[in-house]
Structure 1
Amino acid sequence: MPDQAAAARDAAEEASALSHPPVAPDATAAYGAHPDQVIDFYAPRGGAGHVPSGAEAAGTAPLVVVLHGGAWRSRYDRRHVTPFADFLARRGFAVANVEYRRGETDATATGSATGSTQAVAAGSGSGSGSGSGSAEASAAGAVGATGSTDASGGATPVAGRWPETFDDVAAALDALPALAREALPRADVNRTVLTGHSAGGHLALWAAARHLLPADAAWRTDRPAPLRGVVALAPLADFEVAEKLAVCEGAARQLLGGDEHFALRRPYADPSLLLPTGIATTLVQGRTDVVVPQAVAESYADAAAKAGEVVGLTLLEDVGHFPLIDPAADACAVVAEEIAQLAW
């Protein structure tokens, strides 16, 4: 268990990361019929700190796909990472912020997602989407990362939905190239980097390993995903270690359907069992992270090494869980540089 000082520091970091007004996208596209099956797109805007390149001069920019975290629980939607998506867009990347189905029942998930989807999409087609009007439209009625309610009556809500969470991530990534070409003409889908935070980091690693899934997996592909690389941020990358450490109150076990399904479904869902991917991968991890401890990322990196693959592991001193997606934190700039190393 984290000590009181660590818990207080984590709470302050979370408050900072979630204090930024949501940023409405330039466009939103659906990849399915469910309200959660949508992708928000942010056009590259350059600006201070952006990474120049020859391709940029030619009018194209790498595409960064963002998968948000939140322990796969419905109370956390893509809205809380819209400032992070905007931060990346302002550094010259084209950005796709993916929503997907999370925990709870259909009624609960649909209710939260509909409010969030409509609110965030309200700014679609409004240029940068960063003005106060867009932010207010995005915030109005949306279910946020900290202010939501659910049907659990205060109890810990269920993490993830099997198989819908995985169905959605697979479908979104399959549909993304065509959707991005239409929504972001400047996006170079041949230079795509996948990133995700926490539970989204797990999904990013999993999506890059679909060609290694068991032969009977509905999500399996016949070849590696056409990615420049993956940058996973404090990912739940090893389910066995995460469960031993009770990460996010047993979220990984809940995602797979509970005790009776955990062992059977791990080969279909646990990135540490889906190696080597053959795709350049970097993990970025805060050393003082008490939400997803460093040991989880280290275990994944060790598993990769045993499988004959080198995975980069960037450990940040005095950094917890949330600064990695906080545009006000130095750690967020480090994340952008790690993405740039793979993308440009």
Structure 2
Amino acid sequence: MSEVPVDVPVIVGPGVVADAALLAQIAGRECAALGVRGTLVHARDASHLLSLVRDGAVVLPGPEAEVRALIGRPLGAVVWVDAHRADGVEPGEGASHLHGRGLSGLSWGIRHALHRVRHTPLRIPYGPSRDQWGDLYVPEGVPRPPVVALVHGGYWRSIWAADLMEALCADLAGRGFAVWNLEYRRPDTHGWHATIADVATGLATLHTPRPRPSGNTARDAHGHGNPAHDDNPARESGPGHDRDDRAGRDRGDALGPNPGPNPGSDPGSNPGLDLGIDLDLDRMAVAGHSAGAQLALRAVADGARAALAVSLAGVLDLVEGDRRWLSSGAVAAAMGGPSAAPGERPSGDADVYGAGSPLLRVPIGVPQLIVQGAADDLDLIDFGRRYAQAARRAGDDVTYLEPPGGHFDVITPTTSIWQAAAEAITAALA
């Protein structure tokens, strides 16, 4: 673990449209919650901003072209935060780009920057896209640790990414688990089939024996030791490349390079991708948050190997999720476009709900932990309760927890709801 920095520099680029006092309040509140000092500086121009940038800095670049050109330069472990949506931005080696979360993105950027200083997981790509990778965290001093694979949520929208789960990664590693934090292509920019295929492939990756990676096949979370994906001729042509590829199989068949084994096959004793890390893959939980829970449970239903499937505030009924216009139509938008009329299925895939909705896939034949905060969206509470009942009736072994807590409390390590979930995961994998 790296030493915690004395302060987190927050740099506001010229032309950023936001109240200066509010930005200072957001940064100060977040740094205080994390137990670090923060400094906030408004850059006059691109040269001034460049002089302020260093590893661990959080930068709101703003609209000016000269400043935005700096995002792609190799300036170290910088976290660039765009309050507005900015698809396709390629940060320089070692940097990250968060976007589309409004001013709350500044809070997420500070958390992400501090996490990157404190923890250095091994980043392992499983495909050529910049969104096809997982971060592997290995606990210190634990021989052959059990594994928890995490699938982040965000209602299948690309403004949300794997940084959502970083606090859980640190907490679970501290509990003696190896953690596989999975990133994947989201359907708003790549189509539903790409998302399903990526989650299936990403989960299979840990079970896939591979050569020990050299500096050009794996990298740490700062991006060191990995070639630019732009040099890869197999890389997709751009956002939306496979949106119209409806010939893809909706059951999650692995696409692209390194697809991994058939999820139902027996890979034998696998020493953690031949990294010299011996993982206990027979004790592996697959856990997803919100929409990520739908992806995780669907992957397990399709045959991904798991000793436990975990839903954290999951979207577990896609039919009702669409009918109730959950998160402003997130279900229909992810799965092929808006419904023809309220309650009707998207026209692109007649069986997409049947294949994708966890409620319609029971039994899945794997023990399950369903965690739902009592203060969350009432529809999610309804989905969680009805799913647990349906899965039990179908013969699945299901534990249902509904302690006090909201939607993000289930992925916040300091909350009682996460403590209860973590204890249940630990007991199930003991």
Coarse TM-score class (shorter-chain normalised): 0.5 to 0.7
Counterpart check, 1:70 vs 2:154: yes
- Pairwise mapping of residues 209-248 of structure 1 onto structure 2 (< 5 A)? 209-210=301-302, 224-248=303-327
Q: Give distance in 1, aligned partners of 2:209 and 2:153.
A: 22
- Pairwise mapping of residues 243-282 of structure 1 onto structure 2 (< 5 A)? 243-258=322-337, 259-261=346-348, 263-282=350-369
What are the ranges of 5 or more consecutive residues in structure 2 without an aligned counterpart? 1-107, 211-272, 338-345
Given that residues 27 and 183 in structure 1 are in contact (C-alpha distance below 8 angstroms), is that contact kept between their aligned partners in structure 2? no
Counterpart check, 1:89 vs 2:181: no
Given that residues 194 and 231 in structure 1 are in contact (C-alpha distance below 8 angstroms), is that contact kept between their aligned partners in structure 2? yes
Q: Give distance in 2, aligned partners of 1:42 and 1:239.
A: 32
**TM-score scaled by length of structure 1:** 0.67
**1:255-279: per-residue Cα shift (whole Å, max 9, x none)?**
2102323653112211111111110
Q: Which residue of 2 aligns with 1:190?
A: 282
> 281, 285, 288: which is aligned to 2:372?
285
SS in 1 for 2:400: strand
**1:124-159: per-residue Cα shift (whole Å, max 9, x none)?**
xxxxxxxxxxxxxxxxxxxxxxxxxxxxxxxxxxxx
CA distance 1:277–1:234, shift in 2 (3 Å):
same
**TM-score scaled by length of structure 2:** 0.54
**1:10-50: per-residue Cα shift (whole Å, max 9, x none)?**
xxxx999989745644211111111111010101147xxxx
Counterpart check, 1:28 vs 2:115: no
Deviation at 1:292, TM superposition (A): 5.5
Larger RCO, structures 1/2 (Cα 8 Å, 6+ apart): 1
Q: Give distance in 1, aligned partners of 2:283 and 2:120.
A: 21
- Pairwise mapping of residues 1-344 of structure 1 onto structure 2 (< 5 A)? 21=115, 24-45=119-140, 59-105=143-189, 161-178=191-208, 181-183=273-275, 185-210=277-302, 224-258=303-337, 259-261=346-348, 263-290=350-377, 293-317=380-404, 319-344=405-430
CA distance 1:245–1:226, shift in 2 (3 Å):
same
Q: Give distance in 1, aligned partners of 2:307 and 2:291.
A: 21
Equivalent residue pairs, number: 253
CA distance 1:163–1:225, shift in 2 (3 Å):
closer
Greater CA drift, 34-43 or 298-307: 298-307
Q: What's the C-alpha RMSD, in Å, of the aligned pairs?
A: 2.7
CA distance 1:227–1:34, shift in 2 (3 Å):
same
Percent identity over paired residues:
32
Greater share of helix: 1
Given that residues 207 and 281 in structure 2 are in contact (C-alpha distance below 8 angstroms), is that contact kept between their aligned partners in structure 1? yes
What are the ranges of 5 or more consecutive residues in structure 1 without an aligned counterpart? 1-13, 47-57, 107-160, 211-223
Q: Which residue of 2 aligns with 1:126?
A: none
Q: Which residue of 2 aligns with 1:158?
A: none
